[in-house]
Structure 1
């Protein structure tokens, strides 16, 4: 539960520190005094969006801290453990600092966190029911949210949402593939023709380079043979003086000279080596000449294949050397289109299966909703009778339709129905209930939902708007009864509701030195009597009014 709240430079609050207790606590004060200031600060401290308007004019920053007793809150303890934020198993301190430029920092137990983490933890700590909750009650999506909150079937909601997401994902994939398929049909025909054409030619990787080399050699075969034979004669086989003969002659001459001068031995050795190299080169050249052949037929074949390769490369707008790689790429593109076509054929079956699974989840969810709706309707009807609507009847109509457009919340359509007068048929809440009746029904629902959800701290911010007289007393009893099991904080302007509380704060606004200050004071026994009397009679407080105030408080003691 909430045990302490410290506010600094927030809105019209300069400094404020309050202690909170179990049971029902009422917050009262004059109109415009800022009775909801504590709730606004708590909302900010629990992750609501911050802006520069939160900072008191002239201050550098607003600083809000809320202390909670979590000794009996295992979910809050688990959250802190999972995020390594635990400091004390008994208490948890939340803090929010908002700078005058609108930027904020969030802390849990002194550790910096995100505002989203504050909000997530806050769901385990308190729940705020605002004064406009009865307006939301007219919206079907909010009605469904209330019913689901009462039913507590979180796993069914998650299963339905997950199956819907899978169904939606498959549908999106199908739409994308169908659009892609339409665009690919013309491309597919072209690729099929191109692949068939290149398959027939069947140029292998690196083959074009090999053809070029062989074609170049065969086209110059006569020149190569004649030139090689000519050089062979010059080197070794000629009838006249050959290079080999001249080298041998020089080698012998230098060797003879080396016998006289040993310094010439190295030159003689080099000339002998040169003779050996020339002889080896001559043998290699002879082998080349013997194997060389003129093959016009092979040259013609190569010429034709080379020409076809160049023509196809030009047609496909690639270099001839890249034609084989291009062939493989368009084959891959064609295969990808074929795979998409196969996937498109599979999707119909998968979508049907996903829809069936989704509908089964929806049926289970709807069955749980119907059971909860029956129970909730009876509880709300009984609560309406307590709240001075003796002839009131309430029902929750659920319409389940498999033909309805799927959504992550299922296939139910909900409508809150009410009858407030004898003989009046059940009609939609928005068409029947007056403002006061709607406020009472809304309060009854919020109290019942709050009891079921078991949030440790419940805050009601002027939810009793439009209620007065005996009904106000009934509202007070309802909230006090709820406060016996849960901490209840109620901002109210009704003496009957305020007198039902175990504790009470009074909010006052003061002006000093052209500045406005809001204070929040914890009232003692006499202070409560005076404040209840003020709520009863305004500024004209008499002995009778004070006696009535004491009587109202004593009635709940």
Structure 2
């Protein structure tokens, strides 16, 4: 529950400090005094957007601190523990702080740790539910009516199942549509790639073959010159009887070996010539073997040249370097496999779409049945409640229907419509066709109270939800809020004395103005203060003895009950 609220430099509030009690608390005051300021401040603590207008004139920043008790609020405790935001020293309380600068920048803190506005909203739902002046108007929207039924039914798991089934169906269906739309393009591309792949398959260039082919092509292209030069070299080095390199070296070697006896300095030269003689002889023998093995097969030469030429032709045709032709071939095959896989996938995808749709409709059917059951119980409860609120002839029906023209969505295939009859003999019609503003307020309040019974929030705030209600009906509404205050902390901004009298506690909002500034203050009322305030609400600005007597009687009748 909300324990304390501290507000500084917010709107027309310079400084405000209010403590709150359990039960029902009525908040009253003069028109324009700022009765809704505390609610606006709490909304900021729950993650509402803020702007620079929230800062009081002349101040640099506004600051709001809300103090909540965590007693019997396991949902909030679990959330805080998951984010490690609960302190050991004050494990049973939670402080939310919001600071807004004059420039409109905002900071938020939970127990002193900075958090995002989204996190404030997540935590706030476990502390407070606020029902504003326009809450009843939301009841006229069919989307809101569906949400109320879902909330009352407590079938969150079913909603999640339907939502997931719908998303799965849409994902598969989108893929199916994409593949269908791309079918012609895919077919054209597949035909082109198949032709290219067949051509390259037939040629069958192996990996790294071009490098070897390029070397072989260069060799066969110069084969005649290579053989002739090799044979000439053998003749010059070894086989020329008149003069060859080997005999000339050996002749010089023989002479120098003789001279070496006269001069030892010739020894290195003799050694080098000896090695040269051996190397020349070995080179000549190697060249002879090279010539003996040299193949001038015309068919081989023609084959090499033809394959090299075809490689170059294909590289130009496919617009890739010849050394990349093999890799290009593999890329074509890979893409062709993907296209063929898409074609195969398309053939089986229709069945997957049908299966996903069937699964979705099965989940949606379960949701429909759950909604219909909840709608029956909720309509019975609302009808019973509003009959106690001076609408004795009211009938309420919540229709949950599935029509063929309702487009499937993440929330199922249902149309949820609240219908009501307020007078005998009147047929059930949609809310907006039959109810007055006061009747709508009563129906809306009844729905909120019943919803609160199904989803207990520690603190409920009603901001002038009794608009359009007066007289005996106001007393009934006040009594309803008082009963609700026995289960939750209830705060009600009201201008009706019949409602304010039902409260366990009462706060008075007043506006103090000087020539320079205006301030709003919130004051707790004693029993006598309450009598004076109720008399003001009964009689207006001029409080009479009769009004005071009526106020005492009104308060006494509530206390006696």
In the superposition, the TM-score normalised over structure 2's length comes to: 0.96
174-183 vs 119-128, greater mean Cα deviation? 174-183
Alpha-carbon separation, structure 1, partners of 2:493 and 2:524: 14
Q: Is the 1:167–1:351 contact (alpha carbons within 8 Å) kept by the matching residues of 2?
A: yes
Q: Determine whether 1:152 maps to 2:119.
A: no
- CA shift in 2, pair 1:430/1:228, >3 Å: same
Q: Is the 2:406–2:415 contact (alpha carbons within 8 Å) kept by the matching residues of 1?
A: no
1:517 corresponds in structure 2 to 519
1:528 corresponds in structure 2 to 530
Q: Output aligned runs, 1:366-445, within 5 Å.
A: 366-401=368-403, 404-445=406-447
Q: Output aligned runs, 1:444-455, within 5 Å.
A: 444-455=446-457
Q: Is the 2:28–2:35 contact (alpha carbons within 8 Å) kept by the matching residues of 1?
A: yes
CA apart distance, 1:496: 0.8
Structure 2 residue matching 1:556: 3-state secondary structure: helix
Alpha-carbon separation, structure 1, partners of 2:356 and 2:35: 52
1:63 corresponds in structure 2 to 63
Alpha-carbon separation, structure 1, partners of 2:3 and 2:254: 119
Note the aligned Cα RMSD (angstroms): 1.5
Alpha-carbon separation, structure 1, partners of 2:556 and 2:273: 135
Alpha-carbon separation, structure 1, partners of 2:187 and 2:278: 71
Deviation per residue, 1:263-282 (Å, 9 max, x gap): 44333323222222222222
CA apart distance, 1:304: 2.2
Q: Which runs of 5+ in 1 are unaligned?
A: none
Q: Output aligned runs, 1:102-121, within 5 Å.
A: 102-121=104-123
- CA shift in 2, pair 1:202/1:530, >3 Å: same
Structure 2 residue matching 1:163: 3-state secondary structure: helix
Aligned partner of 2:333 among 326, 331, 334: 331
CA apart distance, 1:403: 6.6
Q: Is the 1:126–1:455 contact (alpha carbons within 8 Å) kept by the matching residues of 2?
A: yes
CA apart distance, 1:261: 4.3
CA apart distance, 1:226: 0.7
Alpha-carbon separation, structure 2, partners of 1:22 and 1:444: 21
Alpha-carbon separation, structure 1, partners of 2:458 and 2:144: 22
Alpha-carbon separation, structure 2, partners of 1:535 and 1:268: 136
CA apart distance, 1:237: 2.1
Q: Is the 1:47–1:116 contact (alpha carbons within 8 Å) kept by the matching residues of 2?
A: yes
Alpha-carbon separation, structure 1, partners of 2:437 and 2:30: 23
Aligned partner of 2:240 among 221, 238, 241: 238
2:51 corresponds in structure 1 to 51
- CA shift in 2, pair 1:279/1:484, >3 Å: same
Q: Determine whether 1:23 maps to 2:23.
A: yes
Alpha-carbon separation, structure 1, partners of 2:541 and 2:472: 23
1:140 corresponds in structure 2 to 142
CA apart distance, 1:130: 1.0
Q: Is the 1:387–1:474 contact (alpha carbons within 8 Å) kept by the matching residues of 2?
A: yes
CA apart distance, 1:114: 1.1
Alpha-carbon separation, structure 2, partners of 1:178 and 1:277: 76
Deviation per residue, 1:322-348 (Å, 9 max, x gap): 222211111111111111111222221
CA apart distance, 1:507: 1.1
Q: Determine whether 1:288 maps to 2:307.
A: no
Q: Output aligned runs, 1:123-272, within 5 Å.
A: 123-272=125-274
- CA shift in 2, pair 1:175/1:101, >3 Å: farther
Q: Is the 1:143–1:414 contact (alpha carbons within 8 Å) kept by the matching residues of 2?
A: yes
Alpha-carbon separation, structure 2, partners of 1:263 and 1:313: 64
Q: Is the 1:218–1:295 contact (alpha carbons within 8 Å) kept by the matching residues of 2?
A: no
194-203 vs 305-314, greater mean Cα deviation? 305-314
Q: Is the 2:36–2:493 contact (alpha carbons within 8 Å) kept by the matching residues of 1?
A: yes
CA apart distance, 1:168: 1.4
452-461 vs 396-405, greater mean Cα deviation? 396-405
Q: Number of residue pairs matched?
A: 557
In the superposition, the TM-score normalised over structure 1's length comes to: 0.97
Alpha-carbon separation, structure 1, partners of 2:270 and 2:413: 106
Alpha-carbon separation, structure 2, partners of 1:304 and 1:34: 97
2:10 corresponds in structure 1 to 10
